[in-house]
Amino acid sequence: MAKNTGNKRVATKHVRDGIKSQYPKGNCCEVCDTDQDLEYHHYHTLSILLKEYSRKNNIPIDTDEQVLAMRDQFYKDNWEAVVTDGATLCATHHKALHKVYGREPALSTAEKQKIWVVRIREKQEGMDSHPSNTEAPSNRFSQYIVRTRVDFASLIKG
């Protein structure tokens, strides 16, 4: 008889456990470079992806067997979000990220989470690229903006 997962976190665990070995987990935290207590952070919350996939494809995930039967196709359809679009973080920075974005960050926050990792890393390195900083911009887009800045007040006057 099919065991009822009862708890949707169990379904997520089945999916996570089946693919963990594929995570491109680095050998140090992407924020602080420590090699201790490393964890893989998914920018796309796995439990939310699974729930949406199940709903959209009308696939029940109420029993262990149902989850196990669908997970290979779920991996294929969501490989980038499930496997490659993540970051290796130490437990401290992983907890800090979740403190900002919540236990199950909305899928719409994936890009913001990536920016958070970069910003915290820059702060760790003392290279805060906040606009109030007078140092040179850290990327080409920012450099372009600085070089092409227009004095709008002078244009209005005339």
Quick one: pLDDT band at residue 10, thresholds 50, 70, 90?
confident
Q: Which two tokens stand for residue 102?
A: 């919540």
Cα 70 from Cα 126, distance rounded (Å): 46
Look at residue 87 and tell me whether its pLDDT is greater than 60. Answer: yes
Quick one: pLDDT band at residue 19, thresholds 50, 70, 90?
confident
Give, rounded to a whole angstrom, the gap between the first and last alpha carbons of the chain: 81
Contacts from 104-111 at CB under 8 Å and sequence distance 24+?
A: 104/45, 104/47, 104/48, 105/45, 106/45, 106/48, 107/44, 107/45, 107/48, 107/49, 107/52, 110/43, 110/44, 110/85, 111/43
Per-residue pLDDT averaged across 34-54, rounded?
94
Q: Which residue has the higher pLDDT, 4 or 57?
A: 57
Cα 147 from Cα 5, distance rounded (Å): 58
pLDDT value for 111:
96
pLDDT value for 90:
96
pTM exceeds 0.85: no
Quick one: pLDDT band at residue 8, thresholds 50, 70, 90?
low
CA dihedral 89, 95, 99, 101 (to 10 degrees): 40
Mean pLDDT of all residues belonging to the chain: 80
pLDDT tens-digit series, residues 99-112 = 999 999 999 999 99
pLDDT value for 59:
93
Quick one: pLDDT band at residue 127, thresholds 50, 70, 90?
low
